[in-house]
Amino acid sequence: MPPDAPLPQFDDVLDAAARIAPHARATPVLRAAALDADAGCTLAFKAECLQHGGAFKFRGACNAVFSLDPASAANGVVTHSSGNHGAALALAARLRGIACHVVVPEGAVGSKLALIAGQGAVLHRCAPTIAAREAACAQVQQATGATLVHPYADPRVIAGQGTAALELLGEAPDLDVVVVPVGGGGLASGTVIALAGRAPAVELVLAEPAGAAETLLSLQRGERVTDFVPDTVCDGLRGTLGEPNFRILRDHRVQVLAVDDAATVAAMRLLLARMKLLVEPSSAIALAAVLGNRERFAGRRVGIVLSGGNVDPDRLPWVAH
């Protein structure tokens, strides 16, 4: 996306909501009195870990796939992601009956690749560098005419991710603040747009791993920081904030809270104990941000998007292996 390309607007989020409604799950908004007592505020959790594919990623992928005109759709879609976006795009493409190509780096986790291949996508292996990944994507595009659907910088993806916040506001209309994790910024920027259009008085707080806090730094400096080496248990939040995502966050009032991995793992365990929900560290970080900043949230009505739940039950991070 070129630096001056138009950004997605609230109408795009509304269009996305209508477009994905026949395919996506309207996930439940869950509450737990015991957790409210722990946190000292009133929590409403949008359980996107119960979304198709186990993560909110299906919303953006589905919006992108079903936005394509028939001629483009016939050539399929391509992306680079060995994680939730790859599986989500593969599922959305299967639902539309079109081809999906996923470029995956050597060394990606086998179980995640199996999920992507299980949806019928074609895997293309490449060296584990950004240059190799982009070259492989370009090659697939040239050979097939497939449309690139970037995991978080694509405006159709951003608009789709914003639909989770719309549904959350529908179920919990009296929220004071919404907390979501930020990595590449697809969910964060989609949520900004949804809140600004539907409930502008609701504050947005982003939770970012302390070991990959380049969004915090980028917003402080007023320019995108791209040279950093992520070091965090939150595997979904290691990516670099996208360019349009940066512009959207910069143009709105958002606050970023950095969270240590230990606090994130403790929150993940607490969500399992108190809410009976298994979420990824990349999702639990939002609750950790609330628990680690009690005065800031005290007595308020806090909405949290639990972004995904794709965790191996045999490798829970608080269990010794």
Ranges assigned E (strand) in 127-229: 147-148, 177-181, 203-209
* Residue placing its CB nearer to its own copies in the complex, 113 or 204: 113
* Terminal Cα distance for the chain, rounded: 43
Helix (H, G, I), strand (E, B) or coil at 93: helix
Give yes or no for residue 90 binding its own copies (CB under 8 A).
Answer: no
Span 207-246, contacts to its own copies by CB under 8 A: none
CB of 81 to its own copies, least distance (A): 19
With respect to its own copies, which residue has the nearer C-beta, 29 or 122? 29
Q: How many residues bind its own copies (CB under 8 A)?
A: 26
Q: Which residues ranging from 254 to 313 are in contact with its own copies (CB under 8 A)?
A: 269, 272-273, 275-279, 309, 312-313
Query: Rounded to whole angstroms, how far apart are CA atoms 319 and 136?
Result: 38
Alpha-carbon distance of 263 to 259, in angstroms, equals 7
As a whole number of angstroms, the distance between CA 306 and CA 304 comes to 6
User: Could you give the CA distance from residue 149 to residue 144 in angstroms, rounded to a whole number?
Assistant: 14
Cα separation of 278 and 34, whole Å? 17
- φ, ψ dihedrals at 43, nearest 5°: -105, 140
Which residues ranging from 173 to 202 are in contact with its own copies (CB under 8 A)? none
Rounded least distance, CB 198 to its own copies, Å:
23
Minimum Å distance from CB 269 to its own copies? Answer: 5
Q: Rounded to an integer, what distance in angstroms lies between the CA atom of residue 213 and that of residue 277? A: 26
One residue of 131, 201, 229, 319 binding its own copies per CB under 8 A: 319
Binding mask 29-68 for its own copies (x = CB under 8 A): -xxxx-------------x-xx-x-x--------------
Residues of this chain that interact with its own copies (CB under 8 A) are 25, 28, 30-33, 47, 49-50, 52, 54, 269, 272-273, 275-279, 309, 312-314, 316, 318-319
